[in-house]
């Protein structure tokens, strides 16, 4: 069976905003001898502080054919998958600095074009030995980067190639039990802006993220309407890319984190009363919990903030120990489905020194835990092939810190969405 997917997207986002760092807000009088600055701080934020126009256009498209073959190689029943993909993307990034908070035009201070081309190929085969299945596979990724600074004409190019192997094993003695294990190579390429310097066009020494990922777990369905899954996982990074707040407090960057380790457990389950009691009225509960007791720097590693401090064994930034999502809902065969969801994110550090007390610029310090409630309702009308929906995220409009890498960034406020989905 041969299937081919082609895709493409164009996205335009012209976003006018004031910088989170007061030193980066446009100031008309900064260069005038003897003039008082008209953007002194928060007191001038809504009157005379300037604004930045982050004007963005993104284009990408690609094609991906896949081939699936069933066979009996060496007398063993199997299923082979092969595929290739070509992906192209372009970013057109401009920044204009306006004089006032209401400005929608200004001085051009950034004009970047970033192009990426990514090619990949993969092959895997699932060997079936009775209740056992073994699936080895390999993927090859090649990425090419190009960056052009249209303000000074500087151009830069670079590229990388990576082989990504893996193997999975499963044992399913019945339809109600599956035990599984696997190991695979993890790979994430760096971004264009992180590997090519904007001023010189030179290549920045930021390596791709590489890791070995392991998992062992089981899926159990002891009865109709009851499912449980438990997994132990471990991720050993040879080089993890981590956020790094700069000691000077101006902006943020990414850095080679070196060797790191993530290790923990995931537990999830779902109960459907409709299946348990053979009722048309289905009340359901589902939950997913992640415990991450180990998320630490390994090997000899020094802080990106204070090079004299060894951070081996310290907790990684933005790696909460506890994550929990719990949902309660109701569904009916008529097409109605409604639920309420609670999302808990445990406290986390924002820098490699594991700073607790916040700094004056807000870029370092502990990020407290938070809980957000969401709700949604859907109603499907089959004769119209249409589903109507309404969703409320952060129902109670809870204010919380989501990020500190560029100063304190709040999380998503209450958001109401409604609409419809039509099937043709």
Reduce the secondary structure of 200-211 to three states and give it as a string: CCCECCCCCEEE
pLDDT at 246: 46
Query: pLDDT value at position 204?
Result: 64
DSSP string, 217-263: EEEEEEETTEEEEEEEEEEEEEE-EEEEE-TT-SSEEEEE--SEEEE
Are 90 and 118 in contact, with CB atoms under 8 Å apart?
Answer: no
| pLDDT tens track, the chain, 424 positions | 999 999 999 999 999 988 766 667 787 765 555 566 788 778 888 888 889 999 999 999 999 999 999 998 878 899 999 999 999 999 999 999 998 899 999 999 999 999 999 999 999 999 999 999 999 999 999 999 999 999 988 888 889 999 999 999 999 999 999 999 999 999 988 888 777 777 776 666 566 788 999 999 999 999 999 999 999 999 998 877 665 554 444 445 556 667 899 999 999 999 999 999 999 999 999 999 999 999 999 988 888 888 899 999 999 999 999 999 999 999 999 999 999 999 999 999 999 899 999 998 888 999 999 999 999 999 999 999 999 999 999 999 999 999 998 788 899 999 999 999 999 8
CATH 2.40.170.20 fits 207-424, yes or no: yes
Q: What token pair was written down for 76?
A: 């063993």
At 248 the pLDDT is 42
Q: Where are the domains of the chain?
A: 207-424
Q: Are the beta carbons of 32 and 98 closer than 8 angstroms?
A: no
Q: What is the DSSP string of 176-222?
A: TEEEEEEEEEEEEPPPHHHHB-TTT-PBP--PPEEEEEEEEEEEEEE
Distance CA 299, CA 231 (A): 26
């Amino acid at each position: 069976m041969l299937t081919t997917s082609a895709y493409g997207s164009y996205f335009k986002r012209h976003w006018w905003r004031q910088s989170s760092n007061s030193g980066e807000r446009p100031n008309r009088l900064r260069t005038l001898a003897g003039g008082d600055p008209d953007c002194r701080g928060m007191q001038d934020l809504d009157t005379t502080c300037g604004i930045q126009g982050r004007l963005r256009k993104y284009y990408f498209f690609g094609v991906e054919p896949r081939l699936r073959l069933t066979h009996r190689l060496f007398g063993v029943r199997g299923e082979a998958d092969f595929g290739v993909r070509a992906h192209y993307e372009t970013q057109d990034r401009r920044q204009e600095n306006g004089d006032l908070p209401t400005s929608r035009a200004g001085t051009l201070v950034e004009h970047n074009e970033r192009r990426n081309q990514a090619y990949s190929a993969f092959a895997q085969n699932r060997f079936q030995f009775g209740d056992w299945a073994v699936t080895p596979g390999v993927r090859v990724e090649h990425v090419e980067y190009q960056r052009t600074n249209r303000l000074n004409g500087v151009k830069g190019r670079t590229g990388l190639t990576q082989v990504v192997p893996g193997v999975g094993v499963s044992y399913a003695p019945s339809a109600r039990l599956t035990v599984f294990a696997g190991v695979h190579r993890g790979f994430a390429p760096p971004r264009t802006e992180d590997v090519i310097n904007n001023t010189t066009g030179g290549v920045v020494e930021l390596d791709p993220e590489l890791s070995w990922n392991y998992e062992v777990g089981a899926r159990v369905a002891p009865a109709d309407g009851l499912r449980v899954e438990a997994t132990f996982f471990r991720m050993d990074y040879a080089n993890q890319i981590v956020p790094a707040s700069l000691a000077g407090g101006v902006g943020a960057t990414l850095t080679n984190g070196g060797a790191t380790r993530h290790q923990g457990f995931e537990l999830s389950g779902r109960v459907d009363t409709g299946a348990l009691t053979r009722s048309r009225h289905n009340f359901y509960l589902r939950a997913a919990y992640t415990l991450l007791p180990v998320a630490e720097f390994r090997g000899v590693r020094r802080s990106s903030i204070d090079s004299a401090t060894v951070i081996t064994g310290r907790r990684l930034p933005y790696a909460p120990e506890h994550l929990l999502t719990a949902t309660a809902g109701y569904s009916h065969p008529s097409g109605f489905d409604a639920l309420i969801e609670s999302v808990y994110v445990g406290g986390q550090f924002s820098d490699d020194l594991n700073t607790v007390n916040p700094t004056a610029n807000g870029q370092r310090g502990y990020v407290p835990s938070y809980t957000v409630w969401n709700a949604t309702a859907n109603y499907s009308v089959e004769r119209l092939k249409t589903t109507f929906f309404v969703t409320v995220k952060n129902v109670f409009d809870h204010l919380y810190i989501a990020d500190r890498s560029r100063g304190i960034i709040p999380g998503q406020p209450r958001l109401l969405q409604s609409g419809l989905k039509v099937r043709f």
